[in-house]
Amino acid sequence: MGRPGALGALLAATVMAAPADGDPHYRNAALGCAFDPPAGWARVRHAGAVAVFIRPGARAEPARRVSPGETTMEFLSRAQRVLRAPPARPGFRPNVTFTARPAPSMSLAEFGREMRRRIARLRGVRVVRETRGELGGAPALIRTVRAWGAGPATLTRTAYCIRGARLFVLALTMRATEPRRLAAAFAKLHASFAWKR
């Protein structure tokens, strides 16, 4: 899918097509959460994410191997490498990426500052907005990042939440020419998120 744009979750950079569930709701009993991806978006497999959904029309690409034991700092380093790679190709499609990994040994505020520090060192990536919020009622950091380069510029809105021993990341990436659509789609996605335990 090319350059998705956001540390968030970063990073649905490569995906492999998988059969769609036909169910408009996504549920994960193991992680105890659920949300509703945009209607009609196809679920695809991704080696570095729990679940990825893409707008119809995206091209499938081979998935890259990612260690299941990847730490949060390793994840951030990988995100930096991906963001330095060539930007989105014409085949890019908007996507939702959901990840869960071991929580960092720092608070959510400290994690946010570390991410801002890393983003500041990157070319073609800028934090547009950052606010405190919630994800399913749990404290969260909501960040919008713009990424640009030789290909289409992208906007990614991401919710970061530390719950229990995990860092949860829910991100929506769209072209930068669709800011209102991004805001509306993320608001609906974000509102649908719920913890089931």
Using one digit for the tens of pLDDT, what is the confidence trace for 8-21?
333 333 333 333 44
The order of strands in the sheet holding 51-54 is 16-17, 42-45, 51-54, 95-102, 166-175, 154-163, 138-147, 125-135
What is residue 45's predicted lDDT score, i.e. its pLDDT? Answer: 85
User: How far apart are alpha carbons 176 and 125 in whole angstroms?
Assistant: 12
pTM of the model: 0.76
> Cα angle at 67 between 62 and 70, to 5 degrees?
130
Produce one character per residue of 174-191: b if its CB has 16 or more CB atoms within 10 Å, e if not: bbbeeeeebeebbeebbe
Using one digit for the tens of pLDDT, what is the confidence trace for 139-149?
999 999 999 88
User: How far apart are alpha carbons 115 and 68 in whole angstroms?
Assistant: 21
User: How far apart are alpha carbons 182 and 123 in whole angstroms?
Assistant: 23
- Average pLDDT of the chain? 79
Using one digit for the tens of pLDDT, what is the confidence trace for 97-132?
999 999 989 999 999 999 999 999 888 999 999 999
One-letter amino acid identity for 173?
A: T
Span 162-174, average pLDDT: 95
Dig out the tokens for 20 from the structure. 């769609």
Strand runs (DSSP E) across 36-81, as ranges? 42-45, 51-54
